[in-house]
Amino acid sequence: MHDVSKALRADGATPELVALVDIILGAATQIAQCVRQGALAGVLGSTDDENIQGETQKKLDVIANQLLKNALLQCTDVCALASEEEDTPVVGNPEGKYLVAFDPLDGSSNIDINGQVGTIFTIFPALRDIAFDSEQQFHQPGTQQLCAGYVLYGGSTLLVVSVGGATRCFTLDAASGNFVLTQASLDIPADTQEFAINLSNQRFWRPAFKQYVDDLIAGDTGPRKKNYNMRWNAAMVGDVHRVLMRGGIFSYPSDSRNPRQPAKLRLLYEANPMAFLIEGAGGKAWTEAQRILTLQPTALHQRVAVILGSANEVDTCLAYLK
Ligand code: AFP
């Protein structure tokens, strides 16, 4: 048995769930090859299409989506899947036990600059009291996730995954094609001096959030009495990975740029899986008013404000917003 299967079985996952994660990893390994080959594989640049979010699709968005879709639809345990790149759920086997949702390639704007990108995924149980092909299947709070994870295509290809216990990190061994356990349990320090927030949006923030960030920037001359450093990857997967590795606070708050879309990150396949992993590593993940995992979804591509990371820093941020 490979490391991922062994660890997930030890964490209580059923053989079927482990097999499903293995299928996702098979597709992710192919995506990793495309990312690594880049221009040599002709996969850089944009298509002429837009997704449901109104964003221009990159060639790699489409390729990654197709690889995951093809692999998952061959699995009889998959009832339906949802993707950032699909307007509506894609139906699999009506009797399938699982729902899978994913952002096939998070951080698409990094593709053409050789920056970090990743695949974020989550698995929910299929609900027997709701039609198998209904979008309502996916309207489950994040607490119901059976498994959440991401594959980060960076200097190394990493898998970070949890089935509800520890958040574990594996590294893809290019020689064997296996993900090898490299950190058995991630543990986010409660305090931090690092933040990841896109400061170019500050004129659109609510005053309380702006005050919080102003006080971070004021450093040891302000009320926080310590200096902070800033990092921004423009790929949630990269920013959250850094927080999982060494602590920090990551936030994409609500703003007033577009009144019809006050938040940017998607609940189902971005905020929920990341919140699951962050909590498994001892951190906190909230919207501006509520624990992310307890939100009752109302739409497939619903967007939410996100504040996550080192527990004490998230608490401080939330205290400003009260
Ligand atoms: P994609 O999934 O479309 O690549 O979007 C990435 C993302 O939603 C998230 O990963 C980043 O945190 C965020 O966008 C970066 O957004 P800005 O460009 O507004 O900083």
Could you read off the pLDDT of 140-199 as tens digits, one per residue?
Answer: 999 999 999 999 999 999 999 999 999 999 999 999 999 999 999 999 999 999 999 999
Q: Is 252 in the pocket of ligand 1 (CB under 6 A)?
A: yes
Residues 286-299, mean pLDDT to the nearest whole number: 98
Q: Name the one residue in this structure whose structure tokens are 């296996």.
A: 178
Average pLDDT, the chain: 96
Q: Which residue, judged by its Cα, is nearest atom 8 of ligand 1?
A: 265
Report, at the CATH architecture level, how domain 194-321 is classified: 3-Layer(aba) Sandwich (3.40)
- Residue 43: band (very low, low, confident or very high) from pLDDT cuts 50, 70, 90: confident
Ligand 1 center from residue 236 Cα (angstroms): 6
Range(s) for CATH 3.40.190.80 in the chain? 194-321
> In the CATH scheme, what is the homologous superfamily, with its name and number, of domain 3-183?
Fructose-1,6-Bisphosphatase, subunit A, domain 1 (3.30.540.10)
Q: How far apart are CA 263 and CA 103, in angstroms?
A: 17
Four-point Cα dihedral 75, 78, 83, 89, nearest 10: 130
Positive/negative CA dihedral, 74, 152, 189, 218: negative
Distance in Å, CA 252 to ligand 1 centroid = 9
Q: Please state the pTM of the whole predicted model.
A: 0.97
Whole-number Å distance, alpha carbon 104 to ligand 1 midpoint, is: 13
Which residues lie closer than 8 Å to 207 by C-beta, 6 or more apart?
none
**For ligand 1, atom 6: residue with the closest CA:** 107
Please choose from 102, 108, 109 the residue to mutate so as to test ligand 1's pocket, defined by most ligand atoms within 8 A of CB: 109
- What residue's CA is closest to ligand 1, atom 15? 234
Q: Which atom of ligand 1 is nearest to the CA of 103?
A: 2
Give CATH 3.30.540.10 domain extents, the chain: 3-183
Dump pLDDT digits (tens) for 88-118.
999 999 999 999 999 999 999 999 999 999 9
- The tokens describing 130, both together, are 């709701």
Does the C-beta of 61 come closer than 6 Å to ligand 1?
Answer: no
Residue the block writes with tokens 């990371």: 309
The closest-lying atom of ligand 1 relative to the alpha carbon of residue 201 is: 19
Centroid of chain to Cα 315: 21
- Cβ contacts of residue 313 below 8 Å, gap of 6+? 191, 192, 195, 248, 249
